[in-house]
Amino acid sequence: MFVQLQGLANGWLSLLLLFVTGIACISHRILAERNYQRKYKFPPIVPGLPLVGNAFQIPKTNQGPYFAELAKKYGEMFTIKIGGTYWVILNSQRTAIELLGKRAAKYSSRMDFPMANELVSRGNRILLMPYGDLWRSERKIIHKILNSTQMSHFEPFQDVESRVMLLDYLQSPEGWFRAHGRYSNSVIMSFLFGKRSNSDDPHVMDLYKTSEAFVQYLMPGKSIVDAFPILARITFCKCLQPWRWTADVLYERTLSVYKRQFNELAERTRKGVQRSCFVSEFLESGAQSKFTPEQSLFIAGTLLEAGSDTSRMTLDQTVAGAALFPDWVQRARIELDNVCGHHAERLPAFADMPRLPLIRAAIKEAIRWKPSIAETGIPHATTQDDEFEGYQIPAGTVVTWNHWGIANDPNEYVQPERFWPERFLNEELDKPLKGHLGFGAG
């Protein structure tokens, strides 16, 4: 009996010690956080819960409107905390351009997204890579495409595919959304892989589905793994990690989409019918030897996703803007008729762009109007301590801009809910990156 009582007492003592140790660790963490906040004068901090911060307060969807409401209370800069990570949310073009643009040297790294980067992408997406040798090597490859001197190389593809898109409109006007997806994908696919896309190609939809699923994990607090990064490093008991099941499935689906394009290119090359393109030159030059097979897939795949999504969304927004606010469409038609002849005597060409200011302004307005991809921006991370207007932003802080909130702020734009191309008929019309944050803030 004595032995049993002693064993019971030892068990209770162990539990008590475990409980006390847990309380001590939690108290130490809370005290450390308070000291950290005293050391640095952050922009106003949104109140949250101990340890987890605001992780469970932030909605999984419609974060742009949610942050816009917080901005009304806390100002154009405020701070949230997700797990142990501090996020500074910028809610004005002024602060976004100053910090992420003019001070890019301090703000251009990327935060560690455990879910999006480590699990869903396995560290292969340049979009989420921190500064380093791999980032520099991949950026050098991608910069060969994404620079102003290369834009003319896309024009033949854009010209052909836009004519096919017009035919799609005529043959199936109710399928305009699908026509936009085919056009956007076919332009970048022609450049990257030397092949065109068909409107009924299921592989195009696979690409859009995997891309849209990935983008969701760039939003603050979307995954519990981002609040507790240690969950991404637990390699045992995978059967009890539903976030890992989701990530593994998405990663394999994404890799399958990319591999399919590389395999088809290899087959066309074997048959002698492959046209010269970015990927064929990339492979023939031996540049891929610097990267793992997965990294090579993601270099081309990331470009394919970016080129497909951005153009499609701009076209979608232009059509939506024309349907909801048709007053500008007639003015654009008159402008087009003056250049190309009444009733489309000919189609417009790139050389006509200087004489089509309203139509060019409409494209800028479509980019501004309804941000839907990464509506809270692509988060940056500070590499050095910084100070701005009395606030301190320490190294390691995540900084992003509320893209949706800024685009819909009446302090930024007159009648922001209105699709009104004339707002961009100014001296910055010829500067496609000015006047909005559709291509980022820095």
Give the confidence band of 32 by pLDDT, cuts at 50, 70, 90.
low
Please indicate whether residue 25 or residue 209 has the higher confidence score (pLDDT).
209
pTM tops 0.75: yes
Give the confidence band of 237 by pLDDT, cuts at 50, 70, 90.
confident
With a pLDDT cut of 70, the percent of the chain lying above it is 90
Please indicate whether residue 238 or residue 249 has the higher confidence score (pLDDT).
249
Compute the distance between CA of residue 360 and CA of residue 281 in angstroms, rounded to an integer. 33
Residue type, 424: F
Give the confidence band of 282 by pLDDT, cuts at 50, 70, 90.
confident
Q: pLDDT tens digits, residue range 324-379?
A: 999 999 999 999 999 999 877 899 999 999 999 999 999 999 999 988 767 888 88
Compute the distance between CA of residue 14 and CA of residue 23 in angstroms, rounded to an integer. 14
Q: pLDDT tens digits, residue range 67-115?
A: 999 999 999 999 999 888 899 999 999 999 999 989 988 998 887 788 8
- Check pLDDT > 60 for residue 65: yes
Give the confidence band of 234 by pLDDT, cuts at 50, 70, 90.
confident
The mean pLDDT value of the chain amounts to 86
- Check pLDDT > 80 for residue 25: no
